[in-house]
Amino acid sequence: MKKLFLSLLFFLPLLAFSEAPKNIHEQAREIADLLRCPVCRGVPIAESPSDLAKDMMGMIYQQLEEGKTKDEILNYFVERYGDWILLQPKAEGSNLFLWIIPLLFLIGGAIFISFKTSQWSRNKPNQP
């Protein structure tokens, strides 16, 4: 019991201070890494050299200074450009189908391999 108390005493302060609040530059970078550059196609706006990406970064900074949250900013860009602007589309609606396909192939492949392996072991001749 004493060890548990001492370990809690040691780890509790670490848990309380483990995540320091992010400054505006870190928040902007985190959001910009989630948005696709409309000019460069497939490159996050944080890494894009295009003028449009720089304008979008400015809009992110402006909205962060206004006190908007990450989700509000992402929704702003989705309303303006559509779901396409997100590098990782939300897993809902028709996008859900795209998230499920790889899982179905993985499960189907595992079933196929186990079926073939059991078939191969049954047909293997007995060796003396």
* Model pTM above 0.75: no
pLDDT band at 61 (very low <50, low <70, confident <90, very high): very high
The CA distance from 75 to 3, in Å, is 48
Is the CA virtual torsion 77, 83, 85, 86 positive or negative?
Answer: positive
**Percent of the chain beyond pLDDT 70?**
71
The CA distance from 119 to 116, in Å, is 5
Contact predicate 58/35, CB 8 Å = no
SS3 content of the chain, % helix, strand, coil (to 5): 65, 5, 30
Identify the pLDDT of residue 93.
Answer: 63
Q: Does residue 64 have a pLDDT over 60? A: yes
Beta strand ranges found along 9-127 (DSSP E) = none
Contact predicate 64/25, CB 8 Å = no
Identify the pLDDT of residue 104.
Answer: 87
CATH number for the domain whose boundaries are 21-90: 1.10.8.640
Average pLDDT over residues 53-80: 93
Identify the pLDDT of residue 94.
Answer: 64
Of the listed ranges 14-23, 26-35, 37-46, 119-128, the least confidently predicted one is 14-23
Domain chopping of the chain, boundaries: 21-90, 91-128
Neighbours of 59 (CB within 10 A): 16
Q: Does residue 128 have a pLDDT over 90? A: no
Looking at per-residue pLDDT, the higher value among 12 and 86 belongs to: 86
Looking at per-residue pLDDT, the higher value among 81 and 126 belongs to: 81
Is the CA virtual torsion 12, 15, 20, 22 positive or negative?
Answer: negative
